[in-house]
Structure 1
Amino acid sequence: MFVRTATASTAAAAVFGAGALLLPGSQTQATAPQAADRQAAPVVVAHRGASGYAPENTLAAVDAAARLGVDWVENDVQRTRDGVLVVLHDTGLKRTTNVEEVFPDRAPWAVKDFTAAELARLDAGSWFGERFAGTRVPTLAQFLHRLERNRQKLLLEIKSPQTYPGIERDILRVLRQAGWLDRSHVRDRLVIQSFGADSVKKVHTLRPDVTTGFLGTPPVADLPAYAAFTDQINPSYTTIGADYVAAVQRLKGPHGKRLQVHTWTVNDAANAAKVNAFGVDGIITNYPDVVRDATG
């Protein structure tokens, strides 16, 4: 059972609030992070959906973000044993599904060891709260359809790419089939990121028009090398300060625009205000309404 924090309880009262968000595409090209070159407020990204209010990486979390008026949704993508792309964070199924009950003899319950049909039998919502009982693990195609219906945008994380050789091509294929690689989606509604630099490079090589992000905090001296293949440096908020953000933003990425910084996972107003003062371009959060209120 999920236990909400005091912050989440307070924020829940505002779950149907709305607010306009600015797009990464509206950034002005620059070689230094002058105040006039940044958005008035950072883009707010719902981490695994609005995962403070609904089970992470489910369609319920996507819809919770939509009710909050949040445009950008982050998710995690992996591949099943039979090659279907599914939206899950952990490489194991134990924490967020009832896999131990349904398949008691299949330890350690790794995502890669199950077929899509088997995953479709799992309850991915009861762990969070009884009212989410029966919530399913979505495929990437289902997730994209829901985002399209809600007119939302996607920050897609390639999870554990070393576990799934060739997953970059698979992801691009599903995105193309769902209509997410046309000009308007690529320009304004899609970013692909990963902790794996080689995976980000591969996406950039296969589709150089797609905006990419590297998850992590590379040393300042290494940033020019990353700028050759990624448009964003997306670090944990605990690892950055104003100087680091400025160092990133002084560089231009592969599309000739200055690098952006989207930091994670900020779940309270105080830290949201802190990273906003650093000049970040985006904040990834389980509680997007809390962050929006603190930075808007």
Structure 2
Amino acid sequence: MKKTEMISLSLSLSLGLLASYTPEAMADDKQVKQQSMLQPIVDHVDVIAHRGASGYVPEHTLAAYEKAIQMKADYVELDLHMTKDGELIAIHDSTLARTTNVEELYPDRAPWSVKDFTLAEIKQLDAGSWFNKTYPEYAKKQYAEEKIPTLQEVIDFIKKKDKNAALYIETKAPDVYPGMEEKLVEFLKKNGYLKKDKVIFQSFSEASLRKLQEIIPEDIPLIQLYTPKMIQGLNLDDVFNRAAEYAEGVGPDKSLVTPAFMQEAHERHMIVHPYTVNTMDEMVEQLSLGVDGMFTNYPDRLVELNKKPYISHGAASGEVTDTSAVLWARTSQSANVQFEVSEDSSFKKAITKTEKAISKHDLTVQVKITGLKPNTIYYYRIQALPGSHQVYGSFKTAPAENELKPLTIVWGGDTGGQGKIPPFKAFSAMADLRPDFFLFSGDTIYADNATPAVPNPPSKTIEDFWAKYKENRTDPYLRKLLQSTSIYAIWDDHEVINDFSGPFEPLTSTGFQAFTDFWPMLKERSSSGKLYHKFSWGDTLDLFILNNRSYRDPNTKLDGQDKTMLGQEQLEWLKKELLNSDAKVKLVASSVPISIPTGKPNARDGWANGDNINPDDKTGYEHEFAKISTFIRENKIKNVNFVTADVHFADIIQYDPDHNGTVDYRELVSGPIGAGMGQPPTLDPTFGPERLYAEGGFFNFGVLKVDPGRKQMTVEIHDENGKVHFQRDFPIE
């Protein structure tokens, strides 16, 4: 692999780890070293004006290059073709038809290939009128006078306008224009551009880049361009190993950029310049993935994002009640963040709040919005000031107390484990159902598993934990879901480390801070450290969120009357709230299952001890769950459903603990959304389970619909594409 001084790398001593500093890590003048591969390996994210500022001006004209220079682009991108008489000219297409009036002037010379015309003939063409017709909002009369420029004209013009402006030149396959590389190199050398910081070469042609490698100085970067088709079905490791033989970086179609793609590039110290990234939302998405530069038709937009704060990882609403909601966002640097909430999407009448994003919380910021109307759809927009980038979303408030309204929720968990990383298609399928809210049932990250965010796990520092959450927020499908409905998030073990017991795990407080930093959360939940809470959706549903981690005894402790997972205070709270609930459906969000044995032998992590698997296993937490089960049964509390994820397969179970033929409660299990896939084992028989459905080996999520009018609850399991694998109606007693 060639080395270049242009690419300033700050490498840690560990192979493949990056310790460069990004603007977000430098917020409030505090530099924080992170091992994440999802951050630039350069000091400055390059703005590459694609065909010039071609969003505003006819592409590949002197006017387009001038506009790019005025907008402070770092590079002016050129596509080169050769005329019939061997002149290098700047034009993207191999034909003249799209961007000139060639068909009008030379009607009998189809297909109007550049190589079939002399420079003199090409200079007769109008290279700007097409733009005025296609983009009337940017049309100017003088564009009709624009001509296709030669490379010499481009260089002379750029030298005059800004001698520091650099070129980003694309070459074609050698068999298209034989001798182009040699001619181009000699031309740049003569004009003083064959040096670092003055030119970068790019090509879709490996042959062209290998040819250039032999004839240019070693410190001039070569960039291998990729279309999706070029690497479809190929192993990324093989693709990058090959490219690293001759290139310093890659220029992928923007759709190819994922955490896995970034890791393959950055662990080889190769820069990533995706194309063509035009909207601010697209730019922010690419920046969140840690790209090192972008091709764009609108260089001014990326220039602004490099200078001013912006919302970096989407937005979210959560902890919704009938009159309030919590809004969440994260910024790229320390900034005042403006939140606006309105009943109409035009924001003519809006509630406005401003909060400061600071590095102490990794630039995440949350505000509680009060005074809302029950059962109402609200729109919000969020902006990091003084930046212009805005993020939009919506949520629905809960019905008023005593109201009965139909309800649809989605639930699931397990994202980012066992080598599975974003994007996760299931989130998009969830959003398409337009649910009233999303219950994220734990393992919202895998802090102890290797991913591009933390390639050498487990996470140990707060920066590691933050990086994990940011990695999942690079997923456009997750952002789509979070910005289309509200969320209630619960934590499980992988938010800290596998099967942890909170009071005995040193990383508990670190994982807790990151969890509460990255999910919209009421201060009553986060500041107290309790996390357990009840939310009501009118009289339709009460949601009881448990904290199964912070109070538990060690998993290895033998089970007995004194062993606890919930702690005495939380256990009494749950019983009291269940007894007082008059909601049609009671939904208990537990991060661990009831009768599915989890954890390890003699260190069971869920309620079940799994003695059907190992009769000598005396761990688990069955004595404590028996107290809950008996309380539900003796007090005749109806329509209780425990909902969870954790086990990486779908399972629907109903329970008859006293074996009298009556169902006393149910357990609804879904997952994984994006983690290793499991298979349903034999159930522990202690609480009289009856399995109604079980299926593993696929990504899935759950859907719960409550129809009070029909006195019916419907449970569904969907795969990541939205296909229904299970559906059953249950009566509301």
TM-score range, shorter chain: 0.7 to 0.9
- Residue 17 of structure 1 corresponds to which residue in structure 2? none
In structure 2, do the counterparts of structure 1 residues 118 and 49 end up closer, same or farther at CA, with 3 Å as the change threshold? same
SS of aligned partner of 1:248: helix
8 Å CA contact 2:8–2:43 kept in 1: the answer is no
In structure 2, do the counterparts of structure 1 residues 141 and 283 end up closer, same or farther at CA, with 3 Å as the change threshold? same
- Residue 200 of structure 2 corresponds to which residue in structure 1? 191
SS of aligned partner of 1:163: coil
Aligned residue type for 2:56 = Y
* Residue 74, structure 1, aligned to residue 77, structure 2: yes
TM-score by length of 2: 0.35
CA-to-aligned-CA distance 1:2-47 (integer Å, 9 cap, x gap): xxxxxxxxxxxxxxxxxxxxx9825225343444373465111100
8 Å CA contact 1:24–1:43 kept in 2: the answer is no
8 Å CA contact 2:172–2:208 kept in 1: the answer is no
Q: Give 1 or 2: higher strand fraction.
A: 2
- Residue 104 of structure 2 corresponds to which residue in structure 1? 101
8 Å CA contact 2:72–2:303 kept in 1: the answer is no
Q: For 1:197 and 1:223, how far apart are their aligned partners in 2?
A: 12
Q: For 1:74 and 1:33, how far apart are their aligned partners in 2?
A: 28
Shift of 1:160: 4.8
* Residue 264, structure 1, aligned to residue 275, structure 2: yes
How many corresponding residue pairs? Answer: 264
- Residue 172 of structure 2 corresponds to which residue in structure 1? 159
8 Å CA contact 2:168–2:200 kept in 1: the answer is yes
Match among 95, 102, 113 for residue 92 of structure 1: 95
Aligned residue type for 1:51 = S
Q: For residues 131-210 of structure 1, what are the structure 2 equivalents within 5 Å?
A: 131-149=142-160, 150-151=162-163, 152-181=165-194, 186-209=195-218, 210=220
- Residue 216 of structure 1 corresponds to which residue in structure 2? 226
CA-to-aligned-CA distance 1:58-100 (integer Å, 9 cap, x gap): 1110100111122311110010111111110000100000111
- Residue 287 of structure 1 corresponds to which residue in structure 2? 298
Q: For 2:186 and 2:116, how far apart are their aligned partners in 1?
A: 22
**Structure 2: which 5+ residue stretches go unaligned?**
22-39, 133-140, 308-733
CA-to-aligned-CA distance 1:91-111 (integer Å, 9 cap, x gap): 010000011111111111000
Aligned residue type for 2:262 = V
- Residue 254 of structure 2 corresponds to which residue in structure 1? 237
Shift of 1:165: 1.6
- Residue 244 of structure 2 corresponds to which residue in structure 1? 227
Aligned residue type for 1:287 = Y
Q: For residues 17-36 of structure 1, what are the structure 2 equivalents within 5 Å?
A: 25=6, 27-30=8-11, 31-36=16-21
Identity of aligned residues (%): 36
SS of aligned partner of 1:214: strand
Q: Which has the larger radius of gyration?
A: 2
Segments ≥4 residues shifted beyond 4 Å: none
Q: For 2:244 and 2:147, how far apart are their aligned partners in 1?
A: 38
Shift of 1:290: 1.4
Shift of 1:188: 1.1
8 Å CA contact 2:224–2:249 kept in 1: the answer is yes
Shift of 1:208: 4.2
Q: For 2:303 and 2:277, how far apart are their aligned partners in 1?
A: 11
Q: For 1:190 and 1:96, how far apart are their aligned partners in 2?
A: 26
Aligned residue type for 1:25 = M
Aligned residue type for 1:177 = K
**Structure 1: which 5+ residue stretches go unaligned?**
1-22, 252-257
SS of aligned partner of 2:145: coil
Bigger RCO of structures 1 and 2 (CA < 8 A, at least 6 apart): 1
8 Å CA contact 2:60–2:91 kept in 1: the answer is yes
Shift of 1:288: 0.8
SS of aligned partner of 2:175: helix
CA-to-aligned-CA distance 1:121-151 (integer Å, 9 cap, x gap): 1111111123301101001111112222222
In structure 2, do the counterparts of structure 1 residues 27 and 39 end up closer, same or farther at CA, with 3 Å as the change threshold? same
TM-score by length of 1: 0.84
